Amino acid sequence: MSTQTSGQDYAWQPDSEIIASSNLKAFMRSIGVDTYEALLHVSSTEQERFWDTLLRHIDLQFYKPYTKIMDTSQGVPYTRWCVDGTTNLALNCIDKHRETVAYQKTALLWDGENGEKRTLTYAQYDAEVCRFANALRELGIQKGDVVGLYMPMIPEVCAAFFAIAKVGAIVLPLFSGFGPQAIASRLEDAGAKAVITADGTYRRGQVVAMKTLLDEALEMYTQIERVIVVPRVGQALLTPMQPGRDYAWEPLRARQPDTAQTEEMDAESISMLAFTSGTSGKAKGTVHTHCGFVSSVALDMGICMDFKPSDTFFWMSDFGWLIGALASVTAAFHGGSLLLAEGAPDYPDQGRLWRLVQDYQVSYFGIAPTAVRGAMRYGVEEVRKYDFSHLRITASSGEPWTDDAWLWFFEHVCQRKVPILNYSGGTEVGGGILGGTVLHPLKPSAFAGPLPGRGSAVFNDKGEPVGPGEVGELVMTQPSIGLTRSLYHDDARYIKSYWDVFPDVWVHGDWAMHDHDGMWYVLGRSDDTINVSGKRIGPSEIEGVLMSTGKILEAAMIGVPDALKGTALVCVCVANPGVETGEALRHELSQAIVAGYGASYRPRDILFVNDLPKTRSLKIMRRLIRSVYLNEPRGDTAALVNPEAVTELEHILLPA
């Protein structure tokens, strides 16, 4: 993390042409301000005017116009948006391009790991969305039904995403690397009725089964009525079909017309449930609406971060994480192109990521700092082989940068000409809290500052804004249109998780600061949620897998710094009586985690102890375990009820 304080340390500054042609400048003219600071002021002091101007500026489509842009009568945490209006996510991302110049443009580009390639125009994309929508209706899917999306990065995942919205159902994205337990728990929490999946996918030259893993999950959660299986790898053994429940996509598709009605939905109807992990309990189901997510994405990616219809967007990710939906909505809403890539960024060779950027003439490129650190292992010579002359904007998110990785990427990929627009927010926010813009200069690892419409601030523990150089909690002091409307069927947890610390203030759970030049920095999570390679997971989810083996009585998972992933997992376990600890058990537990949540979560270390440090209320002190593991100051241990547990851990980790 950089803490530079002098403007002379800016690595990049916008020229007059970039500023004049920017989407942000155009929006500022619409709202009648000359500076970004004035825009932030209007967005905080005249919230209704700001949001109404935004929706008119981006031309958000409605069947029936809203009568009021926002309504806080039920309390700020439960702000309602676009009151009385009706719309649909598919209307704004797919339907609106009909009979426009965009309709014959390239909408989707796809690069399969095995060398297959596909291209879809907006007309073809629309037809596929309609076929999926008609298939869902044929299978009995109706408004309000939850449909899981457990898919690899192939064109059908985007078509299915918009089709689910088109019929008024609710999309539930699921990470393609999840194991059965993680899939089942999310389907159950959401009360899902159907799932769209694939027979399998390719990953590092191997066929990875998906349908068979889903079948295992559906042995745990048995309420799924319909499964649609899209062919990808074409191996029948990967797709055992259950009559009456499972449907092969190709014969189902063949009988569907390529036009379909889009359901007119209340603007605040749910379009997506996106699960994100917390520090305790089950993963949290965040709630995004037909008017909310698309408006937030248009503001963040389109206006502030300057995505244009001429851009080709590429962010190698998975549809189970917010980036998948964000990239799909960004490209489709603005009429740009989206590149999807299956598999790994460094297979079949270490240059694949850079070759994709070159070969598909990517102009708008997103990347996580983890991916950059991984690429740095291969040296500068590898990245210098490729042509990045089409790049116009790069974006980054997922975790804090380190200056060395930021500077490496800026020097060798951006070639000191293309800005890196840092972006931080999350699934709960439906977008960002902090970000970069093409109006602001750049420092390594920094954000330009708050995004408009959030009232972003850094508070101390008294709820007071902190000064430059002081670290505090990142908060939002006002509601945002993209914000989750609650947690699915759990209002109490929603308030406790985000709104309970300061009155009518959203506490995000990140440490942050800003410097004397007004640049902002995110310093990591302020709670126990762990971020591995840009993917958050709560300790309880991994701990539950460990204890489900029947070998473990108690477990604590912590995150420790890792040069590649950003954070690596360490598990500290108390074995059940009579269970022999050693390498065999370590291997078994490690494999259980991988089977449940995927290889990204393979732990670096598994330790066995007689007891875990606990507070007097019997809460496990993960913070204290982490400080012992890293041999850092222990901090306040006044609440510790069993200090002998710390002594034992110190003896294991810090032998004399």
Give me the CATH number covering residue 232: 3.40.50.980
Q: Identify the DSSP state of 32.
A: T
**What integer pLDDT is reported at residue 403 of this predicted model?**
81
My answer on whether 277 and 229 are in the same domain is: no
> How many other C-beta atoms lie within 10 A of the C-beta of residue 466?
16
pLDDT band at 280 (very low <50, low <70, confident <90, very high): very low
Task: Report the candidate in 624, 632, 618 with the shortest Cα–Cα distance to residue 648.
Answer: 624
Please name the helix (run of DSSP H) or strand (run of DSSP E) that holds residue 30, with its range, or none: helix 23-31
Give the ranges where 397-436 is alpha helix by DSSP (H): 403-412
pLDDT of 138 above 50: yes
Domain boundary among 239, 263, 287: 263
The domain that holds 364 is classified in CATH as 3.40.50.12780
User: Mean per-residue pLDDT for 536-544?
Assistant: 73
Pick the range with the lowest mean pLDDT from 27-41, 277-291, 454-468. 277-291
Mean pLDDT, the chain, integer: 92
**What integer pLDDT is reported at residue 42 of this predicted model?**
98
Instruction: State percent of the chain over pLDDT 70.
Output: 93
Which residues are within 8 A (CB) of 196 and not within 5 positions of it... i.e. 6 or more apart?
132, 147, 148, 149, 150, 151, 156, 160, 164, 227, 228, 230
Pick the range with the lowest mean pLDDT from 245-254, 269-278, 433-442. 269-278
- Is residue 81 within 8 Å of residue 67, measured between CB atoms? no
pLDDT of 1 above 50: no
**What integer pLDDT is reported at residue 599 of this predicted model?**
87
**What integer pLDDT is reported at residue 5 of this predicted model?**
41
pLDDT band at 466 (very low <50, low <70, confident <90, very high): very high
My answer on whether 593 and 448 are in the same domain is: no
My answer on whether 590 and 569 are in the same domain is: yes
pLDDT tens digits for range 147-169? 999 999 999 999 999 999 999 99
Rounded to whole angstroms, the Cα distance separating 262 from 211 reads 29
pLDDT band at 533 (very low <50, low <70, confident <90, very high): low
- Is residue 471 within 8 Å of residue 514, measured between CB atoms? no
pLDDT tens digits for range 65-109? 999 999 999 999 999 999 999 999 999 999 999 999 999 999 999
Whether 381 is in a domain gets the answer yes
- Is residue 146 within 8 Å of residue 192, measured between CB atoms? yes
User: Mean per-residue pLDDT for 508-515?
Assistant: 89
**What integer pLDDT is reported at residue 208 of this predicted model?**
92
Number of separate domains in the chain: 3
User: Mean per-residue pLDDT for 36-56?
Assistant: 98
pLDDT of 3 above 50: no
My answer on whether 248 and 350 are in the same domain is: no
My answer on whether 339 and 235 are in the same domain is: no
Task: Report the candidate in 595, 548, 602 with the shortest Cα–Cα distance to residue 571.
Answer: 602
My answer on whether 297 and 405 are in the same domain is: yes
Which residues are within 8 A (CB) of 467 and not within 5 positions of it... i.e. 6 or more apart?
none
β-sheet bridge partners, residue 66: none
And the tokens for 332? 């489709």
More reliable by pLDDT, 302 or 5: 302
Calculate ∠ Cα 435-439-443, nearest 5°: 60
pLDDT tens digits for range 163-200? 999 999 999 999 888 889 889 999 999 999 999 999 99
Cis peptide before 479 (omega within 30 of 0): no
pLDDT band at 482 (very low <50, low <70, confident <90, very high): very high
Pick the range with the lowest mean pLDDT from 88-92, 440-444, 461-465, 573-577. 573-577
Pick the range with the lowest mean pLDDT from 39-53, 136-150, 271-285. 271-285
- Is residue 155 within 8 Å of residue 163, measured between CB atoms? no
pLDDT band at 529 (very low <50, low <70, confident <90, very high): low
Task: Report the candidate in 152, 331, 269, 170 with the shortest Cα–Cα distance to residue 161.
Answer: 170
- Is residue 69 within 8 Å of residue 291, measured between CB atoms? no
And the tokens for 312? 């080709």
Rounded to whole angstroms, the Cα distance separating 498 from 428 reads 10
My answer on whether 392 and 518 are in the same domain is: yes
My answer on whether 637 and 573 are in the same domain is: yes
Domain boundary among 205, 234, 263: 263
Domain boundary among 245, 263, 281: 263
User: Mean per-residue pLDDT for 456-462?
Assistant: 94
- Is residue 316 within 8 Å of residue 341, measured between CB atoms? yes
Which residues are within 8 A (CB) of 269 and not within 5 positions of it... i.e. 6 or more apart?
143, 144, 168, 289, 290
Name the pTM for this structure.
0.84
**What integer pLDDT is reported at residue 564 of this predicted model?**
80
- Is residue 512 within 8 Å of residue 520, measured between CB atoms? yes
pLDDT of 618 above 70: no
Using DSSP bridges, classify how beta strands 364-367 and 312-315 pair: parallel, antiparallel or unpaired: parallel
Rounded to whole angstroms, the Cα distance separating 168 from 136 reads 11
Longest dimension (CA), the chain: 76
Whether 115 is in a domain gets the answer no
pLDDT band at 500 (very low <50, low <70, confident <90, very high): very high
User: Residue 406, SS3?
Assistant: helix
**What integer pLDDT is reported at residue 237 of this predicted model?**
64
pLDDT of 7 above 50: no
pLDDT of 465 above 80: yes
pLDDT of 250 above 70: yes
The domain that holds 572 is classified in CATH as 3.30.300.30
**What integer pLDDT is reported at residue 637 of this predicted model?**
65
Burial 87-101 (b: 16+ CB within 10 A, else e): bbbbbbbbbbbeeee
pLDDT of 2 above 70: no
pLDDT band at 597 (very low <50, low <70, confident <90, very high): confident
H helix count then E strand count, the chain? 21, 31
Whether 103 is in a domain gets the answer no
pLDDT of 140 above 80: yes
pLDDT tens digits for range 379-414? 899 999 999 999 999 999 976 787 878 999 999 999
**What integer pLDDT is reported at residue 65 of this predicted model?**
98
User: Mean per-residue pLDDT for 559-581?
Assistant: 88
Rounded to whole angstroms, the Cα distance separating 574 from 581 reads 9
My answer on whether 164 and 284 are in the same domain is: no
My answer on whether 279 and 329 are in the same domain is: yes
pLDDT of 651 above 60: yes
My answer on whether 330 and 466 are in the same domain is: yes
My answer on whether 392 and 434 are in the same domain is: yes
pLDDT band at 8 (very low <50, low <70, confident <90, very high): low
Whether 362 is in a domain gets the answer yes
| First-to-final CA distance of the chain | 33
**What integer pLDDT is reported at residue 547 of this predicted model?**
80
Structural domain including 459 reads 7-88+269-525
Q: Which residue has the tokens 């629309």?
A: 126
Instruction: State percent of the chain over pLDDT 90.
Output: 76
- Is residue 328 within 8 Å of residue 320, measured between CB atoms? no
Q: DSSP string covering 336-380, please? A: -EEEEE-S-TTSSSTTHHHHHHHHTT-SEEEE-HHHHHHHHTT-H
Whether 93 is in a domain gets the answer no
